[in-house]
Amino acid sequence: MQNIEVIAQTKFMDNSPIVAQADTSLPNYTQENGLLVQFSSGEAAPTPVESDSQTQDSMSSETDFDSHMMQRCLTLARRALGRTSPNPLVGAVVVKNGEIIGEGFHPRAGEPHAEVFALRAAGVGARGATVYVNLEPCNHYGRTPPCSEGLIEAGVAKVVVGMVDPNPLVAGGGIARLRAAGVEVLVGVENEACQQLNEAFVHRILYKKPLGILKYAMTLDGKIATAGGHSAWVTNQAARSEVHQLRAACDAIIVGGNTVRQDNPYLTSHQVEAHNPLRVVMSRQLNLPENARLWETQEAPTLVLTEIGANPDLQKLLLKRGVEVVELPALTPEQAMIRLYERGFCSVLWECGGNLAASAIAQGAIQKIMAFIAPKIIGGSHAPTPVGDLGFTTMTEALPLERVRWRVVGSDCLVEGYLPQKNHQ
């Protein structure tokens, strides 16, 4: 992997033209989406791509250089983490004679797509060039004209695509349009990494609801707090920093009323310039403190979901503090996810306690689990656990996680996995 070192920060979300070199033999300074970066020397330069290759769909022509450029697209795409919903995270790179002559990413919905920024940066040099992009170029008129046409007009020779558009109605349309115009297209480079980056977007498209991620921190004996409800902190700093990054990548975080009463959390990403998700409290009673950190809305917005007629005095106070309050006839995790889908959200992080988590799992509001496990014992037969009653009586009813991964985070451990497919619909 090329070593890219950030040497000075100017401004953050800028798609200004970029002149970058993929040749790592010289240290090159470049303005990359507002970050001045140095490509360090001393590493092998990747093999340039032959833009006149005749290969169509086969992966046989995929080179290390292709993978490297696709990873660059993913790095660029990540610059907009948490800001693009309902759109995907997309980065694009224009390469000619083995050199990057333009780069870009999609900064947020309503703004131009990544390919547009990259082509703009490349200018006339795009003619005969190869364009890398982590998602199939769009082929429909939305808020912006189709990128397939933009690429054809720019005269590019080849397009390398990370993954096809997940929408079954449009999947392959952009690729077909490019091929019909004589542009060579290679599909599936770094496909897994591309799918992973946009998993929430894919979920939203396929199932018409946001991806629900249940994140919790528990002791080795399976407790998320003491029997008295104290939970600060279960895990160490490294795990907590990782949670802050996770928050920055999500559109919303949900907790229940008890968590507000017991923990009084901030639920922000605690990072300068990083995105803060919408903080959502689900409370039926609205028996919540008048002074909670979540009512401080200067740094991040807060939405309270409740039931019709609950605690009108507190509702008035919350509105004065800038908190949005929405009353529903029946407050359920399913309803909460419907509301968040309507807001264009792709990813929702459930940071609630076990009672609400059980209800959310039972209603199909959660698909992914991220369990931080601290190697410590707190004990307590009544101490709360990550997931409350699911009504199961035999071990054969247990929900087996799929695609399980685990890794050490500082002195703690993170286990990640997905609930069975039936929890995805």
Ligand X SMILES: NC(=O)c1ccc[n+]([C@@H]2O[C@H](COP(=O)([O-])OP(=O)(O)OC[C@H]3O[C@@H](n4cnc5c(N)ncnc54)[C@H](OP(=O)(O)O)[C@@H]3O)[C@@H](O)[C@H]2O)c1
According to DSSP, the residues that pair with 212 across neighbouring strands are 348
Q: Do 132 and 157 touch, CB atoms closer than 8 A? A: no
Contact between 356 and ligand X by CB under 6 A: the answer reads yes
- Return the number of the residue (121 or 147) whose C-beta is nearest Zn ion: 147
Contact between 267 and ligand X by CB under 6 A: the answer reads no
Cα dihedral 381, 383, 386, 389 sign: positive
Of 69-77, 216-224, 318-326, 395-403, the window that binds ligand X (rule: CB under 6 A) is 216-224
Q: Are strands 302-307 and 158-163 parallel, antiparallel or unpaired?
A: unpaired
CA-based max dimension of the chain: 70
Selected binder of ligand X within 82, 210, 354, 364 (CB under 6 A): 354
Pick one of Zn ion, ligand X, none as the site partner of residue 113 (Cβ within 5 to 8 A by kind). Answer: Zn ion
Contact residues for 273 (Cβ-Cβ < 8 A; gap 6+)? 12
Q: Do 108 and 81 touch, CB atoms closer than 8 A? A: no
Of 60-68, 217-225, 241-249, 339-347, the window that binds ligand X (rule: CB under 6 A) is 217-225
- Return the number of the residue (119 or 234) whose C-beta is nearest ligand X: 234
> Quick check: helix, strand or coil at residue 9?
strand
- To ligand X, the closest distance from the beta carbon of 330 in angstroms equals 9
Pick one of Zn ion, ligand X, none as the site partner of residue 147 (Cβ within 5 to 8 A by kind). Answer: Zn ion
Contact between 130 and ligand X by CB under 6 A: the answer reads no
Contact mark string toward ligand X, 278..297, x via CB under 6 A? ----xxxx-x----------
Pick one of Zn ion, ligand X, none as the site partner of residue 282 (Cβ within 5 to 8 A by kind). Answer: ligand X
- Whether residue 62 lies in the annotated active site: no
Selected binder of ligand X within 117, 201, 216, 295 (CB under 6 A): 216
Contact mark string toward ligand X, 308..347, x via CB under 6 A? -----------------------xxx--------------
- To ligand X, the closest distance from the beta carbon of 272 in angstroms equals 25
The residue with tokens 């990494």 is: 193
CA 317 from centroid of its chain's CA atoms: 33
- Return the number of the residue (212 or 256) whose C-beta is nearest ligand X: 256
Site for ligand X (CB under 6 A): how many residues?
30
DSSP 125: G
Structural tokens at position 211: 């991806």
Three-state SS annotation for 197-263:
HCHHHHHHHHHCCCEEEEEEEEECCCCCCCCCCCCCCCCCHHHHHHHHHHHHHCCEEEEEHHHHHHH
- To ligand X, the closest distance from the beta carbon of 204 in angstroms equals 22
Selected binder of ligand X within 263, 267, 374, 387 (CB under 6 A): 263
Contact between 242 and ligand X by CB under 6 A: the answer reads no
- Return the number of the residue (3 or 285) whose C-beta is nearest ligand X: 285
For residues 80 and 242, give the distance between their C-alpha atoms in angstroms, rounded to a whole number: 18
Contact between 302 and ligand X by CB under 6 A: the answer reads no
**Active-site residue, from 115, 184, 190, 242:** 115
Structural tokens at position 244: 């802050």
Amino acid code (one letter) for 163 = M
Q: What angle do CA 333, 338, 344 make, to 5 degrees?
A: 130
Pick one of ligand X, Zn ion, none as the site partner of residue 256 (Cβ within 5 to 8 A by kind). Answer: ligand X
> Quick check: helix, strand or coil at residue 297?
coil
Q: Do 183 and 149 touch, CB atoms closer than 8 A? A: no
Selected binder of ligand X within 130, 148, 347, 359 (CB under 6 A): 359
* Residues tagged active-site: 115
Using CB under 6 A as the criterion, which residues of the chain lie in contact with ligand X when the complex forms? Answer: 216-217, 224-225, 229, 231, 234, 255-259, 262-263, 282-285, 287, 331-333, 351-356, 359, 384
